[in-house]
Amino acid sequence: MKICMIGTGYVGLVSGVCFSDLGNDVICVDRDLKKVEDLKRGIIPIYEPGLDELVIKNYKNRRLKFSTDLKDSISKSDVIFICVGTPTKKNGNGADLSQIYNVAKDISESISKFKIIITKSTVPVATGDEIEKIILKKVSKKLFTVVSNPEFLREGEAIRDFNYPDRVVIGTMDLKSNKILKNLYSPLISKGAKYLNTSRRAAELIKYASNAFLATKITFINEIANLCEKIDVNVEDISIGMGLDKRIGGRFLRAGPAYGGSCFPKDTKAITTTADKYKINLSVIKSVIKSNESRTSILLKRVFDLLNGKVKGKKICFLGVTFKANTDDMRDSSSLSMIPTLVKKGAKINYYDPTGKKDEFSKIKTVKFSEDIKSAIQGADLIIIHTEWNDFKSINFKKEVKNKNFILFDMRNIYSPAKMKEQKIKYFGLGF
Ligand code: NAD
């Protein structure tokens, strides 16, 4: 199949590369010239395990191409996936759909034979209707269909998730498009993915409802963790005990910092905004957003308490600053508010992240990036494990820190409190 991916970010690049690896001819288009030039030279703009080999392999065998020329790429393709960003509006909580509508307009100027236009971006209910209206201004109804095919991949696991999804959701009532897309996804269906054909609006809502539900699970266990801290119970026991119930399941049920990343914060806000428009109050999701927003202050209060309120001049080390492991994505990571708050209180921050130095902190004088774990933790008064990278799971703190009185605050509950006690480390986690 001849495919065009518009937007070569986490979703467009990964999906494009994986489609090409399945034997399709794929052109990945982006308006960012540097990104496209880098990709042609084998330089991958994002950190995603396994992605570089797959890009290089498929680019070399010419099934994968990169371009900035949208018109040309559309004319050479039968199936067009829109994978551009849908961030939160600058002045509001709804999704900013300007990138989507700009692309729709560009597409409308480039169609001369039948195309299936698919939104893979996460878009509010009825966005497909709007895209259709925009294209209809220039193109006959016979020459295109607009389908919703939300993407469920997770950063850090994106290639595996693309190749082994739990489900492929196709929102269209058009039989021809449904048949073509079922065929496109047949290699994944034959490996066990469930194929679900729904209305376009239902497909759009499935994505938001799924993300809102996962955000709710995380927030739920974070609140239970707050209670556990007061009653001498370990939240890890609660997560396991609850998770063993098949109706609940153990995934997304681990206490940690506020959920962040490029999806949950914006998608929870967007779905409640959509519902408000229809005068429906999604009160559960609204509480989740509020609770998550308060999570960072709760954890910062614990940091202040651990330091007996004396933050000024303290050396605080952050291990990991991204919102989760195996990604370089800093969008809405809780470190973005924790670190500046601690700096304002006079702390000196050292951080190490396996994906390298972050521009977000480069302008803050008292925030330093360390090239490795050892130099990051050396001499620290307080070490915060912020992100659950495997790299942080077997550190010999006793040997490496070189400050007898250091405190370890493990926001991911990686280490065993009993073992830390044996080593006489002042160890604190979440929910116990
Ligand atoms: P991203 O910001 O990483 O990438 C978007 C890309 O689109 C950028 O490279 C940008 O330059 C490009 N772009 C914007 N306008 C363009 C135009 N007119 N022509 C060509 N290129 C254009 O975004 P992302 O994280 O890949 O997310 C894309 C969508 O997928 C969002 O709606 C997001 O909610 C959804 N999604 C993301 C994830 C994830 O884990 N990141 C998972 C599932 C769904």
pLDDT one-digit tens code per residue, 390-405: 999 999 999 999 888 9
Q: Does 127 sit in the ligand 1 pocket, CB within 6 Å? A: no
- Determine the Cα–Cα distance for residues 333 and 90; give it in Å rounded to an integer: 18
How many residues are present in the chain?
432
pLDDT tens, 319-373?
Answer: 999 999 999 999 999 999 999 999 999 999 999 999 999 999 999 999 999 999 9
| SS3 of residue 395 by DSSP | coil
What pTM value is reported for the model?
A: 0.96
Q: Does 121 sit in the ligand 1 pocket, CB within 6 Å? A: yes
| SS3 of residue 338 by DSSP | helix
Distance 225 CA to ligand 1 centre (A): 34
Distance 100 CA to ligand 1 centre (A): 10
Residue nearest to atom 6 of ligand 1 (CA): 7
Distance 243 CA to ligand 1 centre (A): 33
Q: Where does the pLDDT of residue 52 fall: very low under 50, low under 70, confident under 90, or very high at 90 and above?
A: very high
Q: Which two tokens stand for residue 285?
A: 């999701």
Cα-atom radius of gyration of the chain, to the nearest Å? 23
| Residues in CB range of 193: below 8 A, 6 or more apart | 164, 165, 166, 167, 168, 185
For residues 36 and 147, the answer to whether their CB atoms sit within 8 Å is: no
DSSP conformational letter for 319: E
- Determine the Cα–Cα distance for residues 53 and 235; give it in Å rounded to an integer: 40
Question: If we measure between CA atoms, which residue out of 294, 290, 249, 254 comes closest to residue 272?
Answer: 290
Testing ligand 1's pocket by substitution, the residue of 18, 30, 103, 167 carrying the most ligand atoms inside 8 A of its CB is: 30
- Determine the Cα–Cα distance for residues 307 and 314; give it in Å rounded to an integer: 9
For residues 129 and 97, the answer to whether their CB atoms sit within 8 Å is: no
Angle at 236 between CA 232 and CA 240, to 5 degrees: 125
Q: What is the mean pLDDT of residues 283-308?
A: 98
Distance 84 CA to ligand 1 centre (A): 4
CB atoms closer than 10 angstroms to residue 317: 27
The HSE-up count of residue 118 (CA atoms within 13 Å, CB side) is 26
Q: Does 12 sit in the ligand 1 pocket, CB within 6 Å? A: yes
Q: Where does the pLDDT of residue 239 fall: very low under 50, low under 70, confident under 90, or very high at 90 and above?
A: very high
pLDDT of 249 reads: 98
Reply yes or no on whether 83 is catalytic: no
For residues 5 and 74, the answer to whether their CB atoms sit within 8 Å is: no
pLDDT of 42 reads: 95
For residues 12 and 73, the answer to whether their CB atoms sit within 8 Å is: no
Q: Where does the pLDDT of residue 56 fall: very low under 50, low under 70, confident under 90, or very high at 90 and above?
A: very high
Q: Where does the pLDDT of residue 283 fall: very low under 50, low under 70, confident under 90, or very high at 90 and above?
A: very high
Q: Does 7 sit in the ligand 1 pocket, CB within 6 Å? A: yes
The HSE-up count of residue 209 (CA atoms within 13 Å, CB side) is 8
Tell me the sheet residues that pair with 66. Answer: 28
Q: What share of the chain has pLDDT > 70, as a percent?
A: 100
CB atoms closer than 10 angstroms to residue 20: 25
- Determine the Cα–Cα distance for residues 392 and 383; give it in Å rounded to an integer: 11
Per the listing, tokens 């206490």 go with 255
- Determine the Cα–Cα distance for residues 199 and 41; give it in Å rounded to an integer: 41
- Determine the Cα–Cα distance for residues 35 and 43; give it in Å rounded to an integer: 8
Q: What share of the chain has pLDDT > 90, as a percent?
A: 99
Q: Where does the pLDDT of residue 57 fall: very low under 50, low under 70, confident under 90, or very high at 90 and above?
A: very high
